[in-house]
Amino acid sequence: MIACLVTDRRRADPIAQARAAASASIDLIQVRERDLDGGALATLVHGVLDAIGDAAVRVVVNDRLDVAIACGAHGVHLRADSIAVADARRIAPAGFLVGRSVHTVEEATAAADADYLIAGTVFPTASKPDQSVHLGGAGLRRLVASTRAPVLAIGGVSADTIDEVARAGAAGIAAIGLFAVPDPLDALVRTLRSRFDTAKTGP
């Protein structure tokens, strides 16, 4: 299971989260602080990179390709309405991760050249309380089937819903609130991986 921690400094300190993520074997950290200007965002990205040290976790910056490259991040995560994946690759250095948010099968098909996709919103979530339409397990399954790129589910993912995410064929999960918890992150990630893997391989 690929696990992606999405930051929201209003809920939890991204630097502290990055240190915990490095110890918990989180795969990706998406620095998603859309209200910060370039300078403040760059300072935060540098802090996150310093916090992970030599850990295997990779850091991507939400939509700010310029900041991601300047800071030496591992990649960029493009919004659904952002530039094309191919355009990002022409600018980015070799080996740079390019992910994309998608909400429909059509968006997933158009972004098939991304390294990974984050699909949502799958289930009701406190992050988007006004959203009334959700992919659900069936919608996630259709989206996964439409692309060869690994798909991470976001929105309302929890220990109670992760089985459905796994059975839909997703490669993993991305989350804000789930990882902004006081519980030890490594214990939570172990539990999620165990449940995900069991559901993935089950009948």
Using one digit for the tens of pLDDT, what is the confidence trace for 49-68? 999 999 999 999 999 999 99
**pLDDT 10s digits, 8-39:** 999 999 999 999 999 999 999 999 999 999 99
**Residue 186 corresponds to which tokens in the numbers above?**
């490594």
| pLDDT attached to residue 79 | 97
Cis peptide before 121 (omega within 30 of 0): yes
Write the pLDDT tens digit of every residue in 87-134: 999 999 999 999 999 999 999 999 999 999 999 999 987 766 666 678
- Sequence-ordered list of residues with C-beta below 8 angstroms from that of 10, at least 6 positions apart, any chain: none
What is the pLDDT confidence band of residue 203, given thresholds at 50, 70 and 90? low
Regarding pTM above 0.75, the answer is yes
Rounded Cα gap, residues 100 and 79, in angstroms? 6
Q: Where do the structural domains in the chain lie, given as residue ranges?
A: 2-198
SS3 78: strand
pLDDT at 163: 96
Question: Contact, 122 vs 165, CB < 8 A?
Answer: yes
In this predicted model, which residue has the larger pLDDT, 131 or 136? 136
The partner residues of 77 in beta bridges, in order of sequence, read 62, 99
Which of 24, 30, 41 lies closest to 6, judged by CA?
30
CATH 3.30.70.260 fits 2-198, yes or no: no
Residue 146 CB neighbour total at 10 angstroms: 18
* Per-residue model confidence (pLDDT) at position 181: 81
**Residue 191: what pLDDT?**
94
Residue 85 CA to residue 82 CA, distance in Å, equals 9
Is the pLDDT at 71 greater than 90? The verdict is yes
Taking only the tens place, the pLDDT of each residue in 150-193 is 999 999 999 999 999 999 999 999 999 999 987 799 999 999 99
